[in-house]
Amino acid sequence: MNISLAAEPIFYIGTFPITNTLLVAWVIIAFLVTVAFLTRKNLREIPRGLQNIVEIIMDGALTFMETITNDRKQALKFFPIVFSIFIFVIFSNWIEIVPGLGSIGIWEEHYGKTILIPFIRSSSADLNVTLAIAIFSVISIQVLGIISLGFFKYAGKFLPFGGLFQMKKGIPIPSFNGFVMFTAGCLEMVAEVAKIVSFSFRLFGNIFAGEVLLLVVSFLVPYVVPLPFLFLEIFVGFIQALVFAMLTLVFLKMAATAHGEEAHH
């Protein structure tokens, strides 16, 4: 039994390592692109088959998003980002529960020990992948916030210089409330960066822990006993994908809403 915190290289392109988690990410992306292409190619006014399944899933996701944003137009605007994150993460999470995938790989010598390097490993169990998704999510939040409010109005959420001073008899006097608001804005700017750490480590920690749990249980008691843990990981994988996507949606909604409107809501 081999437990590795880092993703294991399968082969190299020049000096660039292709790890098992990167390989899985590419396979998932290729699968989703293929499904999207086949659905788009065979669109019918009355859906059936694959188109019917895709439409049911996407319509359900859009309706659920609309209940959070309370705005159909905003839900449609955020849908491509939020749904793409959800569908990629959930496939990445669930691939770890496919029986036997961890036993297919190559044997390599490491420090005098022969260990199995699996070809397939959940992308969410690689901090590099979860960090990349988190960075994409946070950058999307900032970009859509700027598009929705304008650069200066959006920047004013983090650097509200306007209230730092009050004019009294033509003399600028520092404002305590303005200073508090400015400090809160700076802290909010730090919180935006902290989202990257929070997003990436939450997903990575939960999926890596589940991967280790399944590996240990399957090694100790290979029959019947692992079944409850498999169902648990299906549930955890879904919840983690949902949490990641919904937090992104909530932060997108907040970024696209002015401070006065937030207070109103």
> pLDDT for 91-109, tens place per residue?
999 887 776 666 666 666 6
139 closest CA partner among 203, 85, 93, 76 = 85
pLDDT band at 3 (very low <50, low <70, confident <90, very high): low
Residue 30 has pLDDT above 90, yes or no: yes
pLDDT band at 263 (very low <50, low <70, confident <90, very high): very low
Q: Using alpha carbons only, what angle is made at residue 107 by residues 109 and 14, rounded to the nearest 5 degrees?
A: 80
Task: Give the integer Cα–Cα distance in Å for 30 and 169.
Answer: 67
Contacts of 163 (CB under 8 A, 6+ apart): 175, 177, 178, 181, 182
Contacts of 130 (CB under 8 A, 6+ apart): 124, 199, 200, 201, 203, 204
191 closest CA partner among 253, 251, 130, 128 = 251
Which residues on neighbouring strands pair with residue 118, listed in sequence order? 105
Q: Tokens 């449609």 — which residue?
A: 76
Residue 65 has pLDDT above 80, yes or no: yes
Which residues on neighbouring strands pair with residue 105, listed in sequence order? 118
pLDDT band at 186 (very low <50, low <70, confident <90, very high): confident
Please tell me the least confidently modeled range out of 119-133, 164-178, 196-210. 164-178
Question: For position 166, what pLDDT does the model report?
Answer: 62
pTM score = 0.83
